[in-house]
Structure 1
């Protein structure tokens, strides 16, 4: 009797990021290339928050399952999170200068996320916006995503913050295409933003960058 084929273990192609909350690597198995977040080497005292962040990302990806231009959740076993790979570059690596179509598509993508009762909460980082090989936008890194009824006051506020962050990138790379309404949105800062800048941002930066060495931008290497 022929024996059943032996499963081939995934092979690491390249490391993308490593910090106190896990290691992210580009992997390959029999089905193709994917991205893995591995918590195996997280220090014992950080395992609970690292697990919480990874679980939050898994739940965020579950909420947008089947949506184009976001990673698809492949597996989450409590220690390793595997998501589909999208071929492209981060916005800071391939800036969409003057690309009006990119920002129109990015806004439609945001609307689709929000209709799934999800706010991303981390779109100020250019590393979380991709420019795919065909020039279209994609969004990654759902560790800080929030879920809730899209029409609730809280989720509507978070959705506006997502939009405001996108418009800040548009102001950087495509300022001539900003509409009068978009300029008003940029000027309208929420109380959440003001509270964060007044109270928590400096402490957050010190803890994440100096104490935990938590890197925000995949593939950019450690911060000095």
Structure 2
């Protein structure tokens, strides 16, 4: 009889906010974010981030090309596994179809009242086996009314981050409208660079000792 207890297949990421592992259970592969080993002084922010991800995944349940929430008990968050490579591992160079599909995916997520809020990281964009896009890691996601001014602003920032990746890998296909959007900086972006980012860098690099790009965790 097959064991009902999930077993770990591989560690995907480990940092001060928890451990993310690829697991195998009776229904197949899934991904687990485990807060059990989080230091006591980081348990509250780690819990808030995991809870935020759980709520965002609930809001986009059934949305293709995004993780599906399998369980959240306050310590472990389980989500569906999606095979694919991070954008930086398999860059969609010159692939206009990828970026068109990625924009449609963002629009669908935003219509569900969710803004991802962390799409500058190429690690949060997947290139699926069929070449299509997917989005993961919703722990900084924001939920709200899709047509509210705040959510429209966040949605526009999500789109700007996607267009930055398009500029990197598919520059020749940027439209005039997209080029204008890239040049427009919102007050939110300017405030982040003036105040939030210096604090973020101090905390992640000096206190948490993260050394990689944008706090994706400590280097192995």
Flag whether TM exceeds 0.5 (same fold): yes
Cα distance in 2 for residues equivalent to 1:63 and 1:215: 33
Runs of 4+ in 1 over 3 A off after TM superposition: 213-217
Q: Distance in 2 between matches of 1:194 and 1:15?
A: 36
Residue of structure 2 equivalent to 1:119: 115
Aligned mate of 2:166, from 158, 167, 170:
170
Structure 2 residue runs without a partner (length 5+): none
In structure 2, relative to structure 1, the CA distance for the partners of 1:58 and 1:215 (3 Å cut) is farther
Task: Identify which of 178, 184, 201 aligns with 2:180.
Answer: 184
Q: For 1:135 and 1:213, how far apart are their aligned partners in 2?
A: 35
- Look up the SS of the partner of 1:34 in the other structure: strand
Q: Quick one: which of 18, 29, 35 aligns to 1:33?
A: 29
| In 1: Cα distance, 2:21 partner to 2:211 partner | 14
Tell me the C-alpha RMSD between the 2 structures.
1.7
**Could you tell me whether the CA contact under 8 Å between 1:71 and 1:83 is conserved in 2?**
yes
Call closer, same or farther: CA 1:214–1:60 in 2, change over 3 Å: farther
Shift of 1:209: 3.0
**Aligned with 1:211 (options 203, 207, 210):** 207
Aligned partners of 2:57 and 2:217: how far apart in 1?
Answer: 25
Within 2, Cα distance between the matches of 1:19 and 1:213?
10
- Alpha-carbon distance in structure 2 between the residues aligned to 1:215 and 1:90: 19
Contact 2:86/2:127 (8 A) holds in 1: yes
1:77 is aligned to 2:73: yes
Higher relative contact order (CA 8 A, sep 6+): 1
Cα–Cα, structure 1 residues 216 and 67, in superposed 2: closer, same or farther, change >3 Å?
A: farther
Within the candidate set 63, 68, 88, 1:92 is matched to: 88
The answer to whether structure 1 residue 43 and structure 2 residue 39 are counterparts is yes
Post-superposition offset of 1:99: 0.3
Are the aligned partners of 2:113 and 2:146 in contact in 1 as well (CA < 8 Å)? yes
Contact 1:18 1:215 in 2 (8 A): no
Distance between the aligned counterparts of 1:75 and 1:214, measured in 2?
A: 28
Cα shift at 1:189: 0.6
The structural deviation recorded for 1:202 is 1.6
Structure-2 residue corresponding to 1:143: 139
Question: Helix, strand or coil: the match of 1:94?
Answer: coil
Q: Confirm or deny that 1:17 pairs with 2:13.
A: yes
